[in-house]
Amino acid sequence: MSTSTPDTEDSGRIERWVTRAIYRPERLYRVLFYVAVFGFLFGTLFPFYWLFVIAVTPRELLGTVGLTPQAFHWQSFVEVFEVVPFHMYVANSIMLAFGTTAIVLVVASLAGYVFGRLEFPGRRPLLLVVLAISYFPPAAFFVPLYRLFAGNISLFGISSPNVLNTPAALLPPFTALFMPLAIFILTTFYAQIPDGLEDAARIEGTTRLGALVRVIIPLSAPGVATVAVLTFIYVYNEFFFSFLMTTGEYTDWSPLVYGIRNYQTQYTQLYNLMGAASLIGVLPVAILVAFAQEKIVSGLTAGALKE
Amino acid sequence: MARLTLDHVTKRYGDVVAVDDLSLDITDGEFITLVGPSGCGKSTTIEIVAGLTDATEGSVHIGDRNVTTLPPKDRGVAMVFQNIALFPHMSVFKNVSFGLRLRDYETAEIERRVDRAMEIVQLGGMGDRKPEELSGGQRQRVAIARAIVRNPDVFLMDEPLANLDATLRTHMRTELQRLHKQLDTTVMYVTHDQAEAMTMSDRIAVINDGTIQQFAPPLTCYNEPRNLFVAGFIGSPGMNLFDGTATADGFNSAAVSVSFDHSSDIPHKITLGVRPEDAYLAGSNRAERLSAPSTAINAVVDVIEPMGDEMLVYLLCSDEAAADAESVQLLVSVPPETDVEVDESVQVVFDRSRVHLFETASGAAITHGLDTEITPDTDRP
């Protein structure tokens, strides 16, 4: 805006627009809302589109991938399973994810009950210590864990068993890393269940554990579903520990992401198969989230429970 | 059905004593009420009986079993809570049958018992509803059905009517009495509402500061309160209490004096208590009928509260000799048609046979009624 010509049409239009935005901001808010939503949607969905474009591009055209597919080579989605036994990697990931989720739910439920519903000295400091574990980068735990799982640590002359390439080397770091968040979420949920309900269950004939299983957990279903799905997705997508603790063979419990990496060899880089495999790999999680969505949304946002 | 005994039960939270050496012996089939102001330890006591809180010292017996260390589920008690505590994720049927299903009863037996319990609380056919679909009174009845379905030895009720509105509360009060008559189970009931305690119980345990002040039938607590706390807590509106001294010819305080003969060993500092319905306006029909009225007390009408069946008159009595003396409030209950006006000067007489004397320092009752010869109460706490 030039001060020497304040009456030009341009400055007048901008001033009018600014004045309106200040006194009647609803329209501006709506515009900003759509900008934010579309920006976010583009950021999330474009990679999938891009993966799809790469996946259907024949190998010989991979050097010149554009924004639109140059050919429709759907056979990539079949070759994925022929080049590498990709379904076995998916199966490994699903089993590891289910195993971790089960352990996390059981242990975090017990811990959540204790932190959320019992009064004892040192409760808050202890909860903070548990949470502090999640502040460390996962890499910090790798070297000692690797030595332990490789059988290089001995106590009283007995060396630890070599459990590399088995779930025993993968489940402990997975569960340990996700446990603090799970405990924190479940603590908040279990603390909200009115004491009267637990008392009533105990008088009617359950133990404390029975009251947890029959009353507190069912009433905290959104929280439990949130923890379960977040854990599942985290393990399903995990790469760091599984890459270092396994050989990369599906018989050695290597998971999905390692499987995708196997399309890259010393001389070939099958980007189209990687793209296709990534899209296929997303499916189980997409299905899971679609089913659990309602519970997760209510779990992440509200968690309020009326008695 | 069983006798319930609390033997020297104490509960401490750190330095705070919630329940202090409390003993109670409740006979089989009796309806007793623990009543007291909030924080007096009555809820802690019922939780100790239920097993939800562990006693620091002392023991609890139900029937001939020592249940002090048993978990709640093995004590043979059922409880109705203030916040009702129905499981919101279960249907009414599942709520009521919860305890039976945990104990592996046969399906037919469960259905028979639940049906009967639901009939007793007059909610037959509501089994499929969820608690959220019921009204407050219906929920409370489901909670009661859940409690009676297991035939417990002892019923525990922790302020079960506190969350209901006034009309429903009065109604449920009658229902609970009917239920108790029908089932004949031992009931321990907790409330802060002395009217509930008075109307429902066989005996009332008045509790303050974690100790029992009096454990007696309601009318005994009302007519012969053992100490100042019971006198002030039981009865609504409360008893008029005047602090004063014992002189040669009776009770003496700045505004109120009542003459009586007494032996020499009553304490010097005493408190006189008289219920609003035992004080009369001088000259009224009722006052004329008194066989031994006290000397008239001069007072000025301060506030009048017509209640319909009676009229509450708040009077200010003051010592005429000392003009600057603080005036003392005296509440008198009079027939509704009585002709009094605010600021009118009146005279009041007490029914001497219904006047109570307490030792001011300890609060212990000295006597109830001034016609009998005054001798110190042998049964003092």
Put simply, whether B14 touches A (Cβ < 8 Å) is no
Task: Indicate whether this complex's ipTM tops 0.90.
Answer: no
Put simply, whether A304 touches B (Cβ < 8 Å) is no
pLDDT of amino acid A10: 61
Are both A189 and A46 inside the same structural domain? no
Q: How many domains does chain A have?
A: 2
Distances (CA, A) of B214 to B23, B40, B211, B359: 11, 14, 9, 16
**Which candidate in A189, A195, A197, A204 is best for mutational testing of the B interface (most B CBs within 10 A)?**
A204
Is there a contact between B77 and A203 if contact means CB atoms under 8 Å apart? yes
Distance from CA of B71 to the nearest CA of A (A): 8
Are both A125 and A243 inside the same structural domain? yes
SS3 B134: coil
Strands B203-208 and B186-191: unpaired
Closest CA to A175 of A130, A119, A128: A130
Are both A127 and A191 inside the same structural domain? yes
Q: What's the whole-number average pLDDT of chain B?
A: 88
Closest CA to A1 of A27, A16, A25: A16
What is the CATH number assigned to the segment(s) B4-226?
A: 3.40.50.300
Burial of A41 by CB count in 10 Å (0-12 exposed, 13-18 middle, 19+ buried)? exposed
SS3 B363: coil
Closest CA to B297 of B252, B238, B359: B252
pLDDT of amino acid A304: 39
Please report, as a single letter, which amino acid is at residue B359.
E
Put simply, whether B133 touches A (Cβ < 8 Å) is no
Put simply, whether B51 touches A (Cβ < 8 Å) is yes
pLDDT of amino acid B256: 82
Beta carbons within 10 angstroms of residue A86's beta carbon:
23
Are both A33 and A90 inside the same structural domain? no
DSSP state of A220: T
Distance CA A243, CA A241 (A): 5
**Which secondary-structure segment (H or E) carries A175?**
helix A167-192
Distance CA A263, CA A281 (A): 14
Put simply, whether A119 touches B (Cβ < 8 Å) is no
Structural domain boundaries enclosing A32: 9-53
Closest CA to A168 of A262, A275, A96: A96
Low-confidence ranges of chain A (pLDDT < 70): 1-11, 295-307
For tokens 């320092």, name the residue: B361
Distance CA A282, CA A305 (A): 33
Domain boundaries, chain B: 4-226, 237-368
Looking up residue A177, the CATH number of its domain turns out to be 1.10.3720.10
Low-confidence ranges of chain B (pLDDT < 50): 372-381
Are both A130 and A39 inside the same structural domain? no
Distance CA A54, CA A47 (A): 10
DSSP state of B73: G
**Residue A71 belongs to a domain:** no
Is there a contact between A194 and B85 if contact means CB atoms under 8 Å apart? yes
The fold adopted by the segment(s) B237-368 is OB fold (Dihydrolipoamide Acetyltransferase, E2P) (2.40.50)
Distances (CA, A) of B347 to B281, B284, B316: 6, 10, 11
Are both A226 and A118 inside the same structural domain? yes
SS3 B3: coil
- Are residues A73 and A58 in contact, defined by beta-carbon separation less than 8 angstroms? yes
Are both A18 and A90 inside the same structural domain? no
Nearest to A205 among B83, B89, B103 (CB): B103
Are both A24 and A153 inside the same structural domain? no
Put simply, whether A121 touches B (Cβ < 8 Å) is no
